[in-house]
Every structure is written in structure tokens, then in C-alpha cells.
Amino acid sequence: MRKVAVLGIGLTPIGEHWEKSLRVIAGEAVFAALNEARIAPPQMQALYVGNMLSGPLNGQENIGTLIADWVGWRGVEASKIEAACGSGAAAFRAGVMAVASGEFDLVTVVGVEKMTETGGPSTTSALASAADADYEAAQGLSFVAINALVMRRYLHEFGWKHNDFAPFSINAHANAVHNPNARLREAITAKDYNRARMVADPINLLDASPIGDGAAAIVLCPADRLLPNGGPAITVAGSASATDSIAVHGRRDPMLLAAAQLSAQKAYAQAGVRPEDIDVFELHAAFSIMAALSLEACGFAGRGQGVRLGLDGQIGPNGKVPIATMGGLKARGHPVGATGVYQLAEVALQLRGEAGETQVSDARVGMA
């Protein structure tokens, strides 16, 4: 298997883009990535699109072909990859395997979602389709409700208080202030967090990430074909994926993200690193409870102790485990199918030393 490198990235601001369609938003990210990679469009061999909701929210499926046509790539292999909120990351992994195997030399991965033109109930219902339709969604459980149940159990089992989770949201917003692509570029305080209105007890508004319209793209190539441009070569040291029961009640331990744990262990083994070697970690915290559970699953904290890293000030850009360095899902925003690609691109920016005010010093190994 060949070593794979990131040749270029493209990011669009996350917001309510009423004037732009799904294909236009995706195209902007793709062209930005191509421009940075200095690749002419005819050279591209494959396009993998991470997206969850184009069918129910935009009335458009087959968006691999749609976007390939829009950017002028008729004839290339193109497909949509759906894995709920992990769609962007799954598309990236498909691109990595395509290049590593030798099948293609140039691949573009784009994550895109347009979520703000439908009403709240429609969007919530569409998102709930990623839960277990028979045993969760059919009982009226939305994703915020499922996360609220998990958070309530975590508070009970490990003795934490709700306001102990405030550092996760405060850190995300503080970092988003410096990210021009972030949706919520406003700092918040512990007082703001504690006074936020309740959404699904114990999750309040500042525990939850906002949806949005946005796209992020990454161009991949074999590492030995990187053009010398004076910048650091960003290579993929490890990539892995795993699954668990979709329904929370089907998991052996509802307080363990077993799939995240297994995939992290596989990726660590491939890369020859340990958790203490990771300089920056972009975790998938759609709700603040998931920040704590992700830190624990990936080996940065013991069981029930993920919250401690936030309380001890260890999650900021200068901390032991920098997370959400560009705002994360909470403040950068969470256009679900695109989020994984945003995270991977943000890790690349950190490793290049191009993260601006939230740059992690001497970052050499990043993880998403």
C-alpha cells in the first residue's frame, strides 16, 4: 500500500446560504482545494462525496454525479458515501484507500450539506433517520433526546454536575472567534452556559452544535508525488473505521463509544503512535457529552474522567489535548455530512502551522 498525502484543502464558511444550491456550495470547496493543490481539473480521477441528507432535505440523490458534472469532471468515477454524521470521514477513508491501493493517483473528497432551507421538525426528523428506526426513532427519540439520556446517565454514574461540561463549549467558542469559516464566532462565559435555555434535560442550548450549510474538500495523492513547495508534507499515518450497535440500548456499555475506541486503536497501531503522541485532536462532539466520551474512548482520559481535562484547562490550544481548535462542531458548526472533512482539513492546517491564533505549538501528529 502506498503512503497517501493531502495535496490541497478547500473550506467554505458555514452559515445559511439561501442563494446557493448544494452543488454550488460543494463546487466552491472543490475549486478552492484544486487551486491550492495547483491541479488542473482534467487530471482528477475520482470524486467521493460525503453527505447524509441530500435526499430528504434537498430532494436530490446521486450527488456524486451531480457535483462531478458541475465542476466539469464528466467521465470520472464519482459516488456519494453516507454514514450519518460520519459521512465526510467515510468519504475521506474511501479516497485514502483508492490512492493507497494504486487504483488512482488523484482523488478529491468533498463533504457537503445544505440544512437550513427546511423547517426544524423536518430537519430533526431527517437527522433521526440515523438512529435505530424501529427502537429509537419510532419511540419519538430525536438525537438531542438520545444524547440527553446518555448525559443524564453519565452524570449519575460518575457524579459530575451539568456545569462541569461548560469548558467544552467555552473552549469551542473561544477558538471559533478566530475562524472566519465558523458559524458562531462569539465567545461565551460560564455564566452564559449556566443560563442557557434547556433543550432536553440535561442538555441546554450551549451543549448542542448548530446545523448549517457548508462544504469542505481535500485533494489526495501518493506521498511520493507531492510537489516541493517549501511547506510540510501532510501524510495519512493511519486510518480506520469500526461500528457498534446503532441503538444505545443495544450497546454493552452505554458509557463507552466502543466503535471510536476500536477505530482509534487500529489507527494508532497503523501509525505507530499512542494517545500521548497526538498533538491536536478534532473530536466529534455534536453535544458536549460526546466530547467527554470521545476523550475517554480514544485513550486521553480514564472512564468517567473526560470532563476533568476540560476543568483542568487541558483542552485549549496550549493544553495537553487541544480539541475543537477551529471551533469544533459546537461553534464552527455541524453541516453533518461535511463535518468529517472540515475536521480533517483543520488538522492539516494545524500540522502546516497555518491555524492562526489557535495554532498548537509544534504540532506534528493530528487526529480526527
Q: Which residues are catalytic?
A: 85, 334
Cα separation, 266 vs 324, in Å, equals 23
Cα separation, 248 vs 250, in Å, equals 5
Tell me whether strands 366-367 and 280-281 are parallel, antiparallel or unpaired: parallel
283-298 burial string, b = 16+ CB within 10 Å, else e?
bbbbbbbbbbbbbbbb
Query: In 10 A of CB 121, how many CB atoms?
Result: 9
Which grid coordinates are listed for 144? 438531542
Contacting residues for 211 by C-beta, under 8 A, at least 6 apart: 115, 116, 123, 333, 334, 335, 336
Tell me whether strands 46-50 and 198-200 are parallel, antiparallel or unpaired: unpaired
Could you list the beta-strand ranges (E) of 65-188. 77-81, 107-113
Cα separation, 84 vs 331, in Å, equals 20
Q: Using alpha carbons only, what angle is made at residue 294 by residues 10 and 142, rounded to the nearest 5 degrees?
A: 85
Tell me whether strands 77-81 and 107-113 are parallel, antiparallel or unpaired: unpaired
Cα separation, 267 vs 277, in Å, equals 13
**What stretch of H or E contains 46?**
strand 46-50
Contacting residues for 16 by C-beta, under 8 A, at least 6 apart: 116, 212, 213
H helical segments located in 52-142: 54-58, 63-70, 87-100, 120-128
Least Cα distance to 264 among 292, 236, 238, 235 occurs for 238
